[in-house]
Amino acid sequence: MARNIVISIDAMGGDAGPAAVIGGMVKSANKNEEIRYIVHGNEAELRPLIEKQRTLDGIVEIRHCDDVISMTEKPSRAMRSGKGSSMWGTLQTVENGDATVAVSCGNTGALMAISMLRLRRAPGVDRPAIAVLWPSRGPAGHNIVLDVGADIRAEARDLVQYAIMGTEYARLGLDLALPRVGLLNVGTEEHKGRAALHEAAELLESHAANPDVGMEFVGFVEGSDIGTGNVDVVVTDGFTGNVALKTAEATATLIRGFLREAMEHTIFSRIGALFALTSLRRLQKRVDPRRINGGVFLGLNGAVVKSHGSADATGVSAAIKLAFRLAQNGFSQKVADRVANAAKPEAHPK
């Protein structure tokens, strides 16, 4: 099978260094025979790592970059001085059409700022959003939550656009024909929440009334609903979404640690763990944040996947897998088309 899906990789941005990124590339290449890579970073550091991996023979192009944008660098400074960085090169490769999707473990603010500069917002999009997959009891096994950190502000129009983009993501990424959308609020009662939420709810009710939209609006939802089977797309502002995401990741890690301690506490618990080993491994995978690593930047003229900065090879592989699926579906163009159609007057029934 021809390796015709090209993914652009920022190999220098993560906390774990290039070795973790290369390890993730190997894992993904072993599972997906259509993948090729363009890797950006220090060639003297990258080439020895890549040449050790037989799986990567002939499917990696290295593009040398002298600079790296640090995790602490301000987005404004990254935009001004980051032109020679691995992150800049990664995004420019997508802009030029040499690759379909960009993947980076680097500075989130800088990545979004440079993405908006190089790829620009899709027509009709006021503010891009970052969407993540969230383990749930829903039909797809995951829900989509957005925004989780692209912009701490979100007015009613922004929340509606997030809902439209999240719906398309659920349709393409989770194979849901009629995604259920909820607005995250401090309660499900109609009188609760700020004015922008109520305005967004009215707009979404009107929007969902159009059968061509393919969205079911379920109203307000609470934090406790995110992992349930009651909603498929949870819409919120970037401040609230980012706090919820980081809290959930930390809680999942805490539970894994508690479970390990409990299983190793006594000789009897260790024996019990042996009998339950298969189930325990399944549970561990289910609550492992690395395996659903990757936030998708929605609303740009190009696909970008943000991996967690501390991701190891397993986490990077999950982000590349997500990027691969987006490339297969022509994701960015379909989301842009959906938003553009929603902006037309006839898309909003009276």
- Alpha carbon distance 326, 320 (integer Å): 10
Q: Give the bridge partners for 180, in sequence order.
A: 216
Contacts of 210 (CB under 8 A, 6+ apart): 347, 348, 349
Give residue 127's pLDDT.
85
The average pLDDT across 322-341 equals 79
The average pLDDT across 317-335 equals 84
Q: What percent of the chain has pLDDT over 90?
A: 38
Is the pLDDT at 243 greater than 70? The verdict is: yes
The average pLDDT across 170-178 equals 86
Give residue 264's pLDDT.
78
Q: What are 222's two structure tokens?
A: 């609470």
**Alpha-carbon 79 to chain mean position:** 22
Residue (of 154, 97, 99) closest to 129 by Cα position: 154
Q: What angle do CA 38, 302, 78 make, to 5 degrees?
A: 75
Give DSSP secondary structure letters for 162-191. HHHHHHHHHHHHS--SS-EEEEE-S-SSTT
The average pLDDT across 98-110 equals 91
Is the pLDDT at 348 greater than 60? The verdict is: no
- Alpha carbon distance 226, 107 (integer Å): 26
Which of residues 329 and 342 earns the better pLDDT score? Answer: 329
Is the pLDDT at 218 greater than 60? The verdict is: yes
Is the pLDDT at 2 greater than 80? The verdict is: no
**Average model confidence (pLDDT) across the chain:** 85
Which of residues 46 and 274 earns the better pLDDT score? Answer: 46
Which of residues 146 and 287 earns the better pLDDT score? Answer: 146
Amino acid, single-letter form, for residue 19: A
- Alpha carbon distance 32, 189 (integer Å): 46
Q: Which residue has the tokens 């917002």?
A: 121
- Alpha carbon distance 182, 228 (integer Å): 12
184 pLDDT band (50/70/90 cuts)? very high
Give residue 326's pLDDT.
85
Name the H helices within the chain: 18-31, 43-51, 75-81, 86-95, 108-118, 156-173, 195-208, 238-263, 267-275, 277-286, 313-329, 331-342
For 235, the enclosing helix (H) or strand (E) is strand 233-235
| Fold (CATH) for 1-125+299-329 | Isopropylmalate Dehydrogenase (3.40.718)
pTM value is: 0.82
Q: What percent of the chain has pLDDT over 70?
A: 91
**With contact defined as beta carbons under 8 Å apart, do 36 and 55 qualify?**
no
Q: Which of 17-21, 30-34, 337-341 has the lowest mean pLDDT?
A: 337-341
The average pLDDT across 306-325 equals 88
Angle between helices 313-329 and 156-173 (to 10 degrees): 90
The average pLDDT across 219-228 equals 89
